[in-house]
Amino acid sequence: MNKKYHIHTFGCQMNVHDSEKIAGVFSETGYQEASGFNEADVIVLNTCSIREKAEQKFYSELGRLKKIKKNNPNLKIAVAGCIAQQKGGKLFERFPYIDFIFGPNNIDKLQIWVTGNTVNSALEDNPDYSIKLIPAKREGRIRAWVSIIYGCNNFCAYCVVPFTRGREMSRRVSDIYNEIQSLAEQGFKEITLLGQNVNSYGKNLKITVDFPDLLKEIHKIEGIERIRFVTSHPRDLSDKLIEAMRDLPKVCEHIHLPIQSGSDMILNLMNRGYTYKEYRIKINNLRNAVHDIAITTDIITGFPGETEEDFQHTVAALSEIEYDGIFAFKYSKRPDTKALDLPNHVEDKVKSERLKKILDLQETITYKKNIRLKSELVEILVEGYSETDANKLTGRTRTNKIVNLYGEKEDIGKLIKIKILEAKLHSLFGEKVLT
């Protein structure tokens, strides 16, 4: 009988897509997907260490697995992702029931372990990782993630990513093109290009190519109707990219541009490489070039040294820019990062209060922006049935807003025109417009 695997993913889109690759390796090796922990012969925890909370969630899940393994001693447990890379062999000391540990840039090595070889870790530098073709077992059939660059060279003072995912490594244009071409042939309609900083794409390649050039190449692929990308570093967002977004119809009118703080003093301490004024100019340029572009961002509250005045600059930035949505978090101490050694760490209570203020303010802005869409005609790509109401279909606008509607099964996978009837905070409701 075939063996079965189960993957539990923590963290960001990067990890979600890495888990698709991990599933791809298992499938190629003849494994089937288990319905849950109890049915699995192998369990992989794909970990995230971006914040302390994510790390704690992993440890509590690992504790649960200890009990499962006690009842089923043949169960194999693997730990992948950023915590695996960061803690390495120390995990074996604390949790001797772990069988294999591998880092985000060593997913290709999983096969060696899965096929029964006696290795217990894959954490070493893997300079050829970007040219490895790892098959992904994708979660959907309509939208797909495609990695274009791994790692990050920026060393923002709060961020653990350069220590866990290593330095930037761009994938070759031809590999990316072929992967997307194959996705188009399988019927995928939308792709999201993934990287910690997509705007750095191409810097380490032998040929001269940058991110806007890559977008132009991908744009030629027939069958792909929409192109998205995450994440853009504001410092590296070029005029050339803004022009590409303006001129390439398949590139959706949405950008995620993390500001992190509205205070120049804090941005400097964070090592972000831009001032609020410089960031603001880029927002203006985007809005002037790309009609009705949606802009989302990330915010950290209570970074070391953040005074009430600094925080008010962030509040003012949110009011001035009026983002479509934000991801906001309290500053979290991360190992190896520069921010650990900064003076004047902010009390947790203050961080929480500031976070609440930011989230409350953004709710009013998001809702106000959604209300403006009422009676508008928009195009959505129908992704499937709604998770919260199985009678409704769900899709996204080009600006990445969720729209629910009543419709036919045949609409799934199609671009359809919708009239927005109702606006809520986190989604819109609409009806199909017959064309």
Q: Which residues of the chain form contacts with ligand SF4 (CB under 6 A)?
A: 152, 154-156, 159, 161-162, 196-197, 233
Nearer CB in complex with ligand SF4: 75/267: 267
Residues 6+ apart with CB under 8 A from 44: 5, 6, 7, 8, 19, 22, 78, 79, 80
Maximum Cα–Cα distance across the chain: 64
Nearer CB in complex with ligand SF4: 159/355: 159
Nearer CB in complex with ligand SF4: 236/310: 236
- Least distance in angstroms from the C-beta of 97 to ligand SF4: 32
* Nearest partner of 181 among 212, 217, 157, judged by Cα: 217
- Least distance in angstroms from the C-beta of 89 to ligand SF4: 25
Kind and range of the H or E run holding 52: helix 52-71
- How far is 62 from 60, CA to CA, in rounded Å? 5
Nearer CB in complex with ligand SF4: 212/234: 234
- Least distance in angstroms from the C-beta of 217 to ligand SF4: 24
In this structure, are residues 206 and 168 in contact, taking their beta carbons and an 8 Å threshold?
no
- Least distance in angstroms from the C-beta of 299 to ligand SF4: 12
In this structure, are residues 293 and 254 in contact, taking their beta carbons and an 8 Å threshold?
yes
Nearer CB in complex with ligand SF4: 154/394: 154
Nearer CB in complex with ligand SF4: 46/196: 196
- Least distance in angstroms from the C-beta of 237 to ligand SF4: 12
- Least distance in angstroms from the C-beta of 150 to ligand SF4: 11
Nearer CB in complex with ligand SF4: 54/62: 54
Nearer CB in complex with ligand SF4: 152/257: 152
> Can you name the residues that pair with 254 across neighbouring β-strands?
294
Q: What angle do CA 31, 45, 89 make, to 5 degrees?
A: 110
Nearer CB in complex with ligand SF4: 194/245: 194
Tokens of 306: 């953040």
Residue indicated by tokens 């953004």: 362
- Least distance in angstroms from the C-beta of 418 to ligand SF4: 34
- Least distance in angstroms from the C-beta of 50 to ligand SF4: 8
Give the count of beta carbons closer than 10 Å to the beta carbon of residue 314: 26
Buried-exposed string 214-249: b where 16+ CB fall within 10 A, e elsewhere: bbeebeebeebbbbbbbbbbbebbeeebbebbbebe
- How far is 349 from 205, CA to CA, in rounded Å? 46
Can you say how many angstroms the Cα of residue 190 is from the centroid of all Cα atoms in its chain?
15
- How far is 42 from 239, CA to CA, in rounded Å? 48
- Least distance in angstroms from the C-beta of 300 to ligand SF4: 10
- How far is 365 from 357, CA to CA, in rounded Å? 13
